[in-house]
A and B are shown apart, each in its own frame.
Chain A
Amino acid sequence: MSALLEAIGIGKTYPGGVVANDGVNLSVNAGEVHAVVGENGAGKSTLMKILFGIEHADRGELRLDGKVVSFANPREAINSGIGMVFQHFSLVPSFSVYENVVLGSEPHAGIRFDRQKAIAAVRALSEKFRLSVDPLPPVGQLPVGQQQRVEILKALYRDARILILDEPTAVLAPQEVEELFVAVRALVEQGRTVIFIAHKLPEVLEISDRITVMRGGKTVGQVAARDVTEQSLATMMVGREVALRVDRASNDGAMACEIKALKVKSESGALLVDDLNLRVHAGEIVGLVGVEGNGQSELLEAIAGLRPIADGVAYLDGTSLSPLSVLERRARGLASIPEDRIARGLASGSSVAENLVATRLDDPRYVRNGLLDLKAIKANAEKLIERFSIRVGGPGAAVSTLSGGNMQKVVVARELSEQPRLLLVNQPTRGVDLGATQFIWKSLTQARDAGAAVLLSSADLSELLALSDRLVVFYRGRIVAAFLNSDTLTPETLGTYMLGIASQTPEEMQGGLR
């Protein structure tokens, strides 16, 4: 069987000298699910952007049906039958599902937009490909999983033969992943081809027929899914053996943080965290499980002092945090690794050294008589760069020049440079490569072993399962289930609670709540 879509010797160097693709080969057969895996920064996204006409290759060629093609822009790629679903959806929130699907290629009667025809077309497509979604409601009101279906329908409406899905499972709960896979299989049955970008290996092994592995801008190899294991794939991706497990805590510390009947409201008054009770002990990691937007982030922000507490109390070592400012909370041993490192964790235009002392500007070691002690700040930076193996030119380099993983290490280094009492962690490894992920995980467990109470929120269930000693599941601002972590706890079990399909009784929760 000859390949439907081929990329041969693709090279791409971005202005600024970053080599994103260096002799990349990809060969996708018709009617298969072809996964492209690799760490962040391996060049997957660049390759896909070249396939879709967003970026242009400096070297190499693309072949579609054996003929050499080049796409000047996405429109040309779409016209050749290639569709792409990005991680960030391109949907207009107030438009209905069918309006979003047909946007740009509307059926019309004269100058009038033929709505009935559009609705019928969307219904037919969603039936044919088992992507059930009501065409009428505005997409802004739909859950993420359904929005993703709308994106897929958009590509199918434009007759995509080849569908590129960029990290489609990153935003989905386990059950939604299953539904997506049902749709992907339906697509393949109908003769469509799916290119599946991912880094969660179990999913890749489940859905794909063949896998292309990328590392450092090069293709490492192409394998059939049935011939590899998770471990051997991970080794191919990283280029060395990786341990994907960390040890759990055995020590039983004193209670560090107690949250009582806590409520947090949005600016418009909606309850984001509703009557929440939780205790966190020194020396344990409590994982906050939940589909994004169910109150986990807001809880962490409220404790950190970035959001007002509407009602209830949060105690740190017996002191109520509500009346304290962010700095006062930090002085009591609170540290926080926020969700968005660029917007909230760092001042990206400032240097690494400045960022590393940004939370200690009242510390006489770095500031004397109201003036910065540049020598001490530099020494501190050099020490932390060494300790956290941050890859950077020097303490004076601007944070914005660092890769995602190294930026995150700067945040982690600052927050853990002094042992915290309570550590708030939100999405610690989002957009961070496997090597740095391992390092950050190790840093978090070290902080825990040294006696920190840790609250961890992550969209990545495998991360939560790997790190947490206990897990609590959030649904609409409430805790609906609590577990002690064990090897028998599966993502599927958590998923039922994450989607609000089930909830534990207070008695069942006791064991996980302590």
Chain B
Amino acid sequence: MIELLMTVLSTTFFVTVVRTTTPLLLATLGGLIADLGGALNVALEGMMLVGCLTAVIVSVFAPWYVAVLAAVLAGALLGGVMAFFHLRLKADIILVGFAINILAAGGTVFALTLATGGDKGTSINLTSKAVPALDLSFLGVIPGIGDFLVRMLSGHSILSWLAAFLVFAIWYFLYRTPWGLWLRGVGEYPAAPEAAGIPVNAIRTWSLLVSGGLAALGGAQLAMFNYIGFTRDMTAGRGFIALGAVLLGARHPVGALLAALLFGVFEALAVVMPGLFNWIPAELIRMIPFVVTILALFLFSYRALQARRLRSAGH
């Protein structure tokens, strides 16, 4: 137990948490944008997965940033497909979302086979690149805390810093710009923006494009930093956890960050614990993030229900 505590309090654990949180956070922000625009994006999982594969394959031939950009575009494209089927052809968004997830699960394996000439499980034979880590070791000159700062802040993926910035940028967009007002209005009561002459469907389309792009950016981090390379179904439900994190974060960007961090911590625990407790089956430990998701959502719903009761009793 002491060992676990020591591990959790170490700077290495913090770095691990940032690493595990980043893909989740990016996907959660993507889910948040779509959700506030009134579309429940259940395809986050598939979009992340396609983001993973696109990033890996493109990075074989191009610099890392081109690969990341390609992943974002691939995700946005899937968002566009969703918008087309849902908004133009009036298909049910949940069904479209699941179609994309199934397409992504099978399509990535198929594309991988084509790209590697036969490998069906991993991209181990492709020499894919990684997203560089930001080196902040110059902070070490600060007397006293310099060393600590370097260990905490140096070595994170550039995309982790980008994700942190995006939390702020999306908050500013949603609550400080007119277009954020439009997006929230479209999601809550589309008849109002419609009557005000705001193009409701165009806004929904944009929200799905951005949602797909963000989820795929999370995929790029997963396949170009957390792991180097692609493995089939490597997202392992992160897209669905992100969907839960949107709700758990009370549909707010800062809440999304906290919820993603919560799941990130438990995923990091699942990474470090097998080394410490070899008597617990590793499979059981790997279940932790999923069990925590269910518990967290249960508690969240229960508390929201209680709060509603209290509020209406006060009337």
Contacts and interface: CB of A to CB of B under 8 A. Distances in A.
B192 interface: yes
Residue of B192, B194, B195 with most partner-chain A CB within 10 A: B195
A270 B193 contact: no
Contacts of B197: 73-75, 78, 104
A166 interface: no
A269 B182 contact: no
Nearest to A76: B197
Given A75-B197, A108-B178, A91 B313 contact: no
Interface in B275-315: 305, 308-309, 311-313, 315
B182 A91 contact: no
B12 to A, nearest CB: 40
Given A91-B192, A92-B189, A103 B198 contact: yes
Interface string A99-131: 110011110100111000000000000000000
A86 B192 CA distance: 11
Nearest to B176: A112
Contacts of A268: 305, 308-309, 311-312
Contact of A270 (B188, B192, B313): B313
B185 interface: yes
A470 interface: no
Given A75-B197, A99-B181, A113-B181, A269 B312 contact: yes
B9 interface: no
B191 A104 contact: no
Interface magnitude class on chain A? 20 to 34
A93 B305 CA distance: 20
A94 B193 contact: no
A106 B177 CA distance: 9
A92 B185 contact: yes
Contacts of B178: 106, 108, 113
A154 B196 contact: yes
Chain A at the B interface: mostly helix, strand, loop or mixed? loop
A446 interface: no
Nearest to A269: B309
Nearest to A106: B178
A229 to B, nearest CB: 37
A90 interface: yes
A93 B312 contact: no
Given A90-B195, A92-B192, A104-B198, A270 B181 contact: no
A99 B192 CA distance: 11
Interface string B174-186: 0011101110110
Nearest to B194: A90
B181 A106 contact: yes
A143 to B, nearest CB: 14
A227 B65 CA distance: 78
A266 to B, nearest CB: 7
Contacts of A269: 308-309, 312-313
**Which interface residue of A94, A113, A266 has the most chain B CB atoms within 10 A?**
A113
Interface in B152-198: 176-178, 180-182, 184-185, 188-189, 191-198
A88 B189 CA distance: 12
A420 to B, nearest CB: 34
Nearest to B189: A92
Contacts of A94: 184, 188
A95 interface: yes
B192 A90 contact: yes
Contact of A103 (B176, B177, B181, B315): B181
A234 B19 CA distance: 75
Q: Which of B194, B196, B198, B308 has the most CB of A within 10 A?
A: B196
Nearest to B180: A113
Contacts of B196: 90, 103-105, 154
B180 to A, nearest CB: 8
Contact of A112 (B177, B192, B312): B177
Contacts of A100: 192
A78 B181 CA distance: 20
A156 B178 CA distance: 20
A477 to B, nearest CB: 10
B312 A270 contact: yes
Contacts of B312: 266, 268-270
Nearest to B175: A113
7 shortest interchain CB distances as A-B pairs? A104-B196, A270-B312, A90-B195, A75-B197, A106-B178, A90-B192, A268-B308
Interface of A: 73-75, 78, 86, 88, 90-95, 99-100, 103-106, 108, 111-113, 154, 266, 268-270
25 contacts: A74-B197, A86-B195, A92-B192, A92-B193, A95-B184, A95-B185, A99-B181, A100-B192, A103-B181, A103-B185, A103-B193, A103-B196, A103-B198, A104-B182, A104-B193, A104-B196, A104-B197, A105-B196, A112-B177, A268-B305, A268-B311, A268-B312, A269-B309, A270-B312, A270-B313
